[in-house]
Structure 1
């Protein structure tokens, strides 16, 4: 057996992940995070994890919400560009820290650009996005033109 679609084999677990995703999305809205920042975080996490399915989906979502191709082109090297606000840079750095779980933790993102509520919201968003990446990659979701 080479491919198993996790959502079809255990639909109840998939449903719970969908519910957790809804809670994370509500948290980012409640925290007042801009929708483009949310998509940038999802894109960056998916780049780190190598999830083509989620990269395509969230890049399309970002474009539909008004994101520019220039910013999308450099999100993989966000720290080298001047395209991103202090809050976006902090959120991207936090997302990378949560995704990579560096030990000891590097708190380079903690520059005061994010409130406690926003930090928590980005943390939950990152946890959920990492889970979605793993579902899509493990299930070999198709990504074709």
Structure 2
């Protein structure tokens, strides 16, 4: 397949793509605030090495008002002072769920999540993490090229 004929996520498997968009829409109406969802999207994408999703969610986070400092520090969030306890608990759970195939999730991770999130929020977090992991895998499989994504409403370059 030539580089110009690569499939794109929105053109291949359109029914599955529309279903995933439905999941995303439901999550935007859920209990997890947009800034935390974007941090989770970006951190999980970093772990999975999805260049397209890293590019997309960095831009989305910036468009939503996230600071460069917090984005640059995200891969070292444990050592960085600019994340709240709630964000730390969400990032910890997101990382553990992303790596669940490698090990079981320690009870202290569940305890930390329960200290910062109610049952509905934990469920919404689990769905948020699951969705971005799915998007990462599809974009990696289809070799989606990063760089051209622009957040909705952003001026065209």
RMSD value, Cα: 1.8
Counterpart-to-counterpart distance in 2, 1:131 and 1:103:
19
Tell me the residue number matched to 1:95.
94
Superposition TM-score, scaled by structure 2 size: 0.81
Tell me the residue number matched to 2:46.
47
Per the alignment, in what secondary structure is the counterpart of residue 105 of structure 2?
coil
Alignment of 1:124 with 2:88, yes or no, is no
Once structures 1 and 2 are overlaid, which stretch shifts more, 36-45 or 96-105? 96-105
Total equivalences in the alignment: 141
Q: For residue 47 of structure 1, report the CA deviation from its aligned partner.
A: 0.3
Structure having the higher helix fraction is 1
4 and 107 in structure 1: CA distance in 2 versus 1, 3 angstrom threshold: farther
Q: For residue 6 of structure 1, report the CA deviation from its aligned partner.
A: 5.2
Tell me the residue number matched to 2:154.
none
Superposition TM-score, scaled by structure 1 size: 0.87
Q: For residue 34 of structure 1, report the CA deviation from its aligned partner.
A: 2.7
Q: Deviations over 1:77-126 (max 9, x none)?
A: 11111110000000001111111105322244332011111111111001
Tell me the residue number matched to 1:9.
12
Counterpart-to-counterpart distance in 2, 1:55 and 1:108:
28
